[in-house]
Amino acid sequence: MEEKILKGKISFVNYEKSFATIDYLSNTKEKSVNFKTSAPDSGKKAHHFRLGDVVNFQLKLSARGDKMTACNIKFLYNPAIDLLIQKAAIENRFSGYLKKVEEQYFVKEWDSYIFFPLEISPWEKPPVSTAENEAISFKLLNLDKPNAITAELFSHNYIPEFKMAVQHFRNQIDTDAIVAKVSPYAVYLRLFNDTIQAKLPLEKGEVSELKEGDVLQVKIKHLTNTRIVVEKVMAN
């Protein structure tokens, strides 16, 4: 493997086959090299590589020894994503197409052709297969982390039990919960016919007397479409 660190831009990504192409200059000559996107890069967290990513990388011989391949790829920035972040600061609403690669959903932004992983709530029915390649509206999440931006649709198809949880949260209605698991830091509960998972935090040093299968009354004190936190209702 060469020790030299090169800089280039991703010009092609094939998510189905998990490979991408980096264009770069070497001694004023334009060159291209491929790499497997499923391989870990040299950063602390795995990066979802996108069209237009500017990266640092090194070269090594492929496993067959017949060509060079890129390795130790490190994301630097993406001008197109920077522009989308600026647009989102004014109005975080974009149009694109829904795509499915293997078992994961993505949205493809119209103007930039950039793919963003789609965030789906655990209490949301996934998009139907007929929705693939259809035009959709979405917003971008994690805008403070350009290498970890995801997308969320404006339209959701939540299960009835989550809608019930929302009503209980808004009106602060007590509900029954069943203990699913007890850890040193929290009690994990099942609500609404075992379809909703919630967390009952424990104070530092607190030891819960609850055990798996116990039933208790709780009130939802924090609710998003990905996380529900409850507090125990004290008996009068």
Q: How confident is the model at residue 148 (pLDDT cuts 50, 70, 90)?
A: confident
Residue whose entry in the numeric block shows the structure tokens 């798996």: 212
10: closest CA among 25, 2, 22?
A: 22
d(Cα 210, Cα 203) in Å, to the nearest integer?
A: 14
Instruction: Output the pTM of the full model.
Output: 0.75
List of E strands, 102-192: 104-109, 115-117, 135-141, 150-153, 175-182, 186-191
Sequence length of the chain is 236
Mean pLDDT of 184-207: 91
Q: What is the pLDDT of residue 46?
A: 58
pLDDT mean across residues, the chain: 89
The answer on pLDDT for 100 being more than 80 is yes
d(Cα 117, Cα 151) in Å, to the nearest integer?
A: 6
Is 91 within 8 Å of 127 (Cβ atoms)? no
Domains and CATH numbers, the chain: 6-77 (2.40.50.140), 80-153 (2.40.50.640), 160-232 (2.40.50.140)
- Give CA separation, 130 vs 113, 126, 135, in Å: 21, 11, 12
Phi, psi dihedrals of residue 199, rounded to the nearest 5°: -120, 135
First to last CA, the chain: 70
Is 187 within 8 Å of 214 (Cβ atoms)? no
User: By three-state DSSP, how is residue 194 classified?
Assistant: coil
d(Cα 45, Cα 147) in Å, to the nearest integer?
A: 9
Is 213 within 8 Å of 229 (Cβ atoms)? no
Share of the chain above pLDDT 70, in %: 94
The answer on pLDDT for 126 being more than 90 is no
The answer on pLDDT for 72 being more than 80 is yes
